[in-house]
Structure 1
């Protein structure tokens, strides 16, 4: 029965038209809309190494190509390499006839047993640092390409600014601040906009010559048809892609890879620009300053009991509703009509596009909508009336009080009630010819807004579209 608790079986329809599980959706408490990773702004807070947890500024990370200088990944299996220490015998500097034990260090993988000695890297006398990088024969050519295109982009940018400024009259002070003599002299090359350079002349742009295609292709080595191929000595496609600068063909050419730097991201609503998720600055901390996941604000729906579905036969399916908030929730399960929902969303988008944020300080951004995949392959009979979910109480699991006696529930609708969870019976009828049953419903519930002001309503009514994958239809006997 563990497959029934997968979050992919029950998905919520985001405001941008994409189906996501409740663990991948956020609820903005300011505009009261569901937001997923495609309709939020991703902002990088900090950059850190996932192995040594060292913070790194963005400028330093850019210089190091977003790699850590002390941590390495295994080029064979991409596992993190560890530093091993061993002792070697060396001759004493004062007396060549005597030997001394010296501690040296090398890199080793605890998963595939790959070591830095396999490729002939010398052992280091210090535990961290000192590991040299493999030289790239195309480094100078790539750097010249980057400088060429950087100068070309700068020239195009200044040319656009020149055309834009030609349409309007500017004062001498404004032009001198924008194109001052010290800034022109500080550049490596004088751009065509500079009055001190010949028109159309750029030293960096003239250095590059376009490459010409050649019809001749290098031939294969002579030993490729005579020597036996050993597959264990040939690198895989993943190993070659991990080293795009060299793309080694032999396992003896695999060198340690510096570990990639990871970002800590903040998520911001693209409509009202309020934070939905903001982590702590410390990389080792797993806490969040702001965490507006839908899991903490929207009642969770789960499949509880597996059933055998037959085409055209009405079957009882049991789902559970869980209240994650510290307030009682009154909800109702309503039919979900995809066409009516899409029309309502389009009307709501038209009205929101003309609204101005309070105070005029927040920039409202239109969020592109996708066509939702809400093709339903079954009908569902929903219970009439409303249901009350008790507030979440962490001490309720230690209480022997029967929660069902507090609420007057219909036994045909409510199968069980425990603390802040309620089991509800739904009647599902698969469509003829359907191989897998998907049903939809609209969950309308009263949400207690904790950030509401004196002029706004504290309790608001929200509608959440839910698509449930009930299961496959069995063949009739």
Structure 2
């Protein structure tokens, strides 16, 4: 029965028009809408090394090219390298004629057995490292190109600012108020590395020499067609792309790679700019300061029981509804109309009647383009009439021997079972002719109790969530 609990079989329709499972979607308590990964802003919260868990400021990470200075990856299999200790015989500093045991350290890979000794790196006397870096012969040329394009970007920025204020005459004092005097002097004295000046008179000179195409190229070595190829000594494409500065061709030229820095992301709603997910600052912590996943605010729908589906035959299937909130919830099923939902999303509206919170704290509204999603059901479903009540989530309910569900007057043809904050519902599904899988759609209307910190009291609003359920394969 494990295949019935796959989250991909039940998907919710996001406000941007994309179907996502409940585990990959967020719920904004300020907009009262679903947000997926495509309609949220991704922000870098903290940068850290995944091996030593050391935090790193963004400026320092930019200078170090987003790599850790103390941790290394294996250039052969990209596994994390570990520091190994060994003893060697070395001359005694007191008496050179005698030898003493001396502890040294080297890097080794526990996966492919690669070591730093394979490329001739000297062993270190301390475990913290100090390994010799590989020099890049094109370093000066790359730095010259970076400075050149940095100056071009600064010149374009000045041109845009000059055009912005050229249509109106500004006095000297207004310019000094907007830009300080040292800033104006610095911008006037800027000399970009370009063969053309901003005025176009070519007064500025450039240290760059343009590349020229040549007809003759270096020939191949004479033994390339006669020497036997040893594939174990040649690097793979993944190994070469892991070192884009050098791109070694032989395995003997592989050097340890500084480990890439990872980031902790915070997600922000594009519509109201409130945080939907914000992790802890400590890299070793897996907790979140803010985690507005839909799993904690939207009723969860799961497939529980299904039967053999055939074309045109009405079959009873069973789904479960779970209330994740600490408040009672009233549910109702509404028919799903794909054309109406697409038209409403193109206008930026919500179907049905629903309350909304005060949006006076909005900074700006960003229009989110609607993506094309297949919303065509392949089966007809007979939805239960009336309303269902889901009790609040209570972690101690499973240890309670009293039957608290006897007070509900449920229709036995609709409600199959009821346990704590979960309820099983029977649906009658009729697959359409020619369909390979039965996909049904309905709108889940429920009452949500909002408990945001800005609200003076709890407010209950009615929300509509379109749901698409993959019931299962269909046979003739």
Please say if 1:293 is aligned against 2:293. yes
**Aligned residue pair count:** 469
Identify the residue that residue 387 of structure 1 maps to in structure 2: 388
Identify the residue that residue 132 of structure 2 maps to in structure 1: 132
CA change 1:88–1:200 in 2 (3 A) is: farther
CA change 1:132–1:357 in 2 (3 A) is: farther
Deviations 1:379-416 (A, max 9, x none): 22222211111111111122233344232222222222
Alpha-carbon separation, structure 2, partners of 1:20 and 1:160: 42
Identify the residue that residue 324 of structure 2 maps to in structure 1: 324
C-alpha contact 1:331 1:445 (8 A) present in aligned 2: yes
Secondary structure, aligned partner of 1:327: coil
C-alpha contact 2:451 2:457 (8 A) present in aligned 1: no
Secondary structure, aligned partner of 2:238: helix
- CA apart distance, 1:120: 1.9
Secondary structure, aligned partner of 2:305: coil
Secondary structure, aligned partner of 1:145: helix
Gapped regions of structure 2 (runs ≥ 5): none
CA change 1:374–1:386 in 2 (3 A) is: same
Give runs of aligned pairs for residues 268-417 of structure 1, distance below 5 A. Answer: 268-349=268-349, 358-359=359-360, 362-417=363-418
Please say if 1:445 is aligned against 2:432. no
- CA apart distance, 1:260: 1.1
Identify the residue that residue 6 of structure 1 maps to in structure 2: 6
Alpha-carbon separation, structure 2, partners of 1:388 and 1:217: 79
Alpha-carbon separation, structure 1, partners of 2:290 and 2:87: 50
Alpha-carbon separation, structure 1, partners of 2:268 and 2:198: 45
CA change 1:350–1:380 in 2 (3 A) is: closer
Gapped regions of structure 1 (runs ≥ 5): none
- CA apart distance, 1:241: 1.8
Q: Larger deviation: 56-65 or 435-444?
A: 435-444
Secondary structure, aligned partner of 1:469: strand
Q: Larger deviation: 337-346 or 63-72?
A: 337-346
Secondary structure, aligned partner of 2:434: coil
Secondary structure, aligned partner of 1:344: helix
Alpha-carbon separation, structure 2, partners of 1:142 and 1:31: 47
C-alpha contact 1:191 1:202 (8 A) present in aligned 2: no
Q: Larger deviation: 227-236 or 319-328?
A: 227-236
Identify the residue that residue 258 of structure 2 maps to in structure 1: 258
Identify the residue that residue 36 of structure 1 maps to in structure 2: 36
C-alpha contact 1:189 1:202 (8 A) present in aligned 2: no
Secondary structure, aligned partner of 1:206: coil
Give runs of aligned pairs for residues 128-167 of structure 1, distance below 5 A. Answer: 128-167=128-167
C-alpha contact 2:345 2:370 (8 A) present in aligned 1: no
Deviations 1:287-346 (A, max 9, x none): 111111101000111112354333333222221111111111111122211101122233
CA change 1:234–1:421 in 2 (3 A) is: farther
CA change 1:319–1:228 in 2 (3 A) is: farther
Measured on the aligned residues, the alpha-carbon RMSD in Å equals: 2.8
Alpha-carbon separation, structure 2, partners of 1:462 and 1:105: 63
